[in-house]
Amino acid sequence: MIIVITGASKGLGKSFAEIFAEQNTLLLCARNEDVLRQTAMQLQQQYPSANIHYKKTDMRNKQEVIAFANWCNSFGTTDILINNAGKFVAGSICTEDDTTLEMMMETNVYSAYYLTKLLVAKMKENKQGHIFNICSIASLQAYSNGGSYSISKFALLGFSKNLREELKPYGIKVTAVMPGAVYTDSWSGTGVLEERIMEVKDIAKMVKAASQLSFNACVEEIVIRPQLGDI
């Protein structure tokens, strides 16, 4: 299978790559080429049967997204697309910088929108495939200091819902993944105990499980929170 993962150099993206690596072709991207290269090399050593390729891409930049999509299409039809690239910036709508919403939408929504549009044509011809959009608990409820990040994640969930309806006749599944707090670099130094929040592999396992169901079953939404609830 050909599996495309954005924001794949670390955190959730790296965990998705790890769980799908064996005997698959992985097409990975991230902004930091050095970290991405290290991740790809590590995965290739760990999973010799995998076929791993990577391309430095800033998913905020439409032209780079187009270039990445064309590069992915050169390998064949995408079987699984994981739109994971994203960024969190805390803030208040009333006081945050005017450019914050633009940045959040470009990173968290437009990246998935444009890449999906450019890969899905081949998937429709093939009459199968699975698209995972990594949303957030912030897609479901407003919270203090959520600001433009929450707006963008609500939008990504809306994109997922509409895409699901459009692609039903083509046999393509769409799943919106809404995790609560997951231990990634963004939590280091915050004082929150690692055991209080979820592990990245928890989310990866759920995505992998959803991808393995029969053709006639589609998990439309995955909502997963820490055992003690949101932080």
149 assigned to active site: yes
Distance spanning both ends of the chain, measured CA to CA: 37
Give the domains, in start order, of the chain with CATH numbers.
Answer: 2-224 (3.40.50.720)
* Angle, helices 33-46/11-20, rounded to nearest 10 degrees: 30
pLDDT number for residue 195: 84
Q: How many residues does the chain have?
A: 231
Residues 189, 172 contacting (CB under 8 angstroms): no
pLDDT number for residue 148: 94
Torsion sign across C-alpha atoms 142, 144, 146, 151: positive
Report the distance separating Cα 17 and Cα 28, nearest Å: 8
Catalytic residue among 114, 149, 170, 183: 149
pLDDT of the chain, 231 residues: tens digit per residue: 999 999 999 999 999 999 999 999 999 999 999 999 999 999 999 999 999 999 999 999 999 999 999 999 999 999 999 999 999 888 899 999 989 999 999 999 999 999 999 999 999 999 999 999 999 999 999 888 889 999 999 999 999 999 999 999 999 999 999 999 998 876 766 778 888 899 999 999 999 999 999 999 999 999 999 999 988
pLDDT number for residue 105: 97
pLDDT number for residue 231: 82
pLDDT number for residue 192: 81
Alpha helix (H) ranges present in 11-146?
Answer: 11-20, 33-46, 62-73, 99-105, 111-126
Report the distance separating Cα 204 and Cα 91, nearest Å: 28
Residues 141, 99 contacting (CB under 8 angstroms): no
pLDDT number for residue 93: 92
pLDDT number for residue 188: 67
